[in-house]
Amino acid sequence: MERPERPRVVIATGTGRYADPWHPYPATSARIAGILRADGWDAVVDDEVDHALAHLDGADLLVVNAGDPWRDGGEPRPDFAAEAGLAAAIERGIGLIGIHAALSSLRDHPAWREAIGGEWVPGTSWHPPIGDTRVRITDGDHAVTDGMPHLDVFDERYSDLVVDAGARVLAVHDVEGAVHPAVWVRERPTRAVVSSLGHDERAYDSPELAGLLQRAARWAARV
């Protein structure tokens, strides 16, 4: 019997105006690609975000690991091919995963913000110093978190994010007595998973985070 073709993921990686001084996007995208390849994916890392969005035909999953293109007073620079490519992919049901700073990325493309159901808001959202932390699973009745009690990870804890009412929060972290969403999912307009984790390579040394990403990819893409 002929072996079925492997599912395909495009990892849109922050460079150029999607880069910033704090996040090593090419390095973390390489780690994400390795984690997904180990789970049977054909992973393509594209270091030009708008190019990636414009070339999603045949992809089962889009992972965005990129920063804020409007950082430091940047202005909107719409790319119509990217906008059309993302819209068409969402319309046909591509799976989406937003990683860490992707909560402030793709600001030229409102369809992304709508699909992932949350964002980092400058002046409101923040994070304590990076370090070892435990992320608590609060909803273990979902395919992404089934059987996972918690995640131990070295990471930044994004706090006071805006999360839409239609999102289903699966995991949280605690800062100074306050509880903050860390991982959530949405199913409309397409399946999307947001992980606020993944600041740098050290986060991906966590086997729990690697497992979460593999489960997220399979669920989002219906693999």
Q: Containing H/E element for 186?
A: strand 178-186
Portion of the chain with pLDDT greater than 70, in percent: 98
Read off the pLDDT of residues 140-170 as tens digits, 9 standing for 90 and up.
Answer: 999 999 999 999 999 999 999 999 999 999 9
The pLDDT of residue 78 is 82
End-to-end Cα distance, the chain? 20
DSSP state at residue 6 = P
- At position 125, the amino acid (one-letter code) is S
The pLDDT of residue 1 is 39
Portion of the chain with pLDDT greater than 90, in percent: 94
Lowest mean pLDDT among 78-82, 138-142, 206-210: 78-82
Q: Is the pLDDT of residue 4 over 60?
A: no
The number of residues in the chain equals 223
> pLDDT-derived band of residue 77, with 50, 70 and 90 as boundaries?
confident
Q: State the pTM of this model.
A: 0.96
Q: Write down the CATH superfamily of domain 8-220.
A: Class I glutamine amidotransferase (GATase) domain (3.40.50.880)
| Residue 67 tokens, joined | 């920063």
Top-confidence residue, 78 or 22: 22
- At position 110, the amino acid (one-letter code) is P
Pairing of strands 8-13, 61-65: parallel
What does the pLDDT average to over 110-139?
97
What does the pLDDT average to over 99-116?
97
Q: Determine the number of helices (DSSP H) and then strands (DSSP E) in the chain.
A: 5, 11
- At position 13, the amino acid (one-letter code) is T
Reduced to 3 states (helix: H, G, I; strand: E, B; else coil), residue 41 is coil
Q: Is the pLDDT of residue 215 over 90?
A: yes
Pairing of strands 8-13, 42-46: parallel
Domains of the chain, by residue range, sit at 8-220
> pLDDT-derived band of residue 76, with 50, 70 and 90 as boundaries?
confident
Reduced to 3 states (helix: H, G, I; strand: E, B; else coil), residue 173 is strand
| Residue 63 tokens, joined | 């992972």
Long-range own/partner contacts, residues 149-152 (CB < 8 A, 24 or more apart): 150/208, 151/197, 151/206, 151/208, 151/209, 151/212, 152/206, 152/208
| Residue 164 tokens, joined | 């839409």
Reduced to 3 states (helix: H, G, I; strand: E, B; else coil), residue 94 is coil
- At position 176, the amino acid (one-letter code) is E
Q: Is the pLDDT of residue 184 over 80?
A: yes
* C-alpha closest to that of 151 among 167, 130, 173, 129: 173
> pLDDT-derived band of residue 2, with 50, 70 and 90 as boundaries?
very low
C-alpha span between 185 and 143 (Å, rounded): 11
Q: Is the pLDDT of residue 73 over 80?
A: no
What does the pLDDT average to over 132-137?
98
DSSP code string of 119-145:
E--TTT-B----EEEEEEES--SSTTT
Angle (deg, nearest 10), helices 207-220 and 25-37: 70
What does the pLDDT average to over 72-76?
77
Q: What is the overall mean pLDDT for the chain?
A: 96
